[in-house]
Amino acid sequence: MNYLGNAWRHFMTVNRHKWEVMKNCFRIGLYKQGILHDLSKYSWTEFKTGIMYFQGNRSPNTAERLETGVSVAWLHHKGRNKHHYEYWCDYDIDHKGELIGCRMPYRYVAEMFCDRVAASKIYKGKEYDDGCPWEYYLPAKETKLIEAKTKQELEELLLMLKNEGEEKTFEYLKSEVARRKREHDGF
């Protein structure tokens, strides 16, 4: 295994991803989130997984999970990045021992959308189209770990992107982020 080569390729992939997310976040007025997005990917806990399991066309966390049964990098990542719905999981008061999704503030739903678009562009490359982020989301669609309103908001954005394109979706999202900032509506 070429660890040095993998380290460089993973570093460049993370940088490209961060750049794409930052551009998307800036388009909708989330400047601080765009700059701070995914900084934990540079931590050794996450970065070493990128070196060990680099493939270039999907997350190294998936490969780590398939080989070892768990992705330590993912557990670290989701616990530090509020744009992942898994960050917002807690125990269900009504069903002891079960986890459920909790409501995400809209600014993190918006960042999650920006993240999914960027990740799809990076991993799909020339095969990317505006339906790719929706297709990537489909396997997780029925999980109880996404709270209902959060799920509705994310799906609305992903379907708008798929059906109406990037320009219209980002225009809508920019106005929605601004409106919610003004109204402090779950922002």
- Domain spans of the chain, in order of start: 3-183
Query: Does the pLDDT at position 185 exceed 70?
Result: no
pLDDT mean over 62-81: 97
Per-residue confidence (pLDDT) for residue 76, from 0 to 100? 98
pLDDT tens by residue, 8-51: 999 999 999 999 999 999 999 999 999 999 999 999 999 999 99
Give the integer Cα–Cα distance in Å for 132 and 57: 13
Compute the average pLDDT of residues 93-121. 96
- Asked if the model's pLDDT at residue 162 lies above 90, the reply is yes
Predicted pLDDT of residue 1: 75
Q: Which pLDDT does position 21 carry in this prediction?
A: 98
Share of the chain above pLDDT 70, in %: 99
Give the DSSP per-residue string, 9-55.
Answer: HHHHHHHHHHHHHHHHHHHTT-HHHHHHTTGGGGSHHHHHHHHHT--
Global confidence as pTM: 0.94
What's residue 57's pLDDT? 81
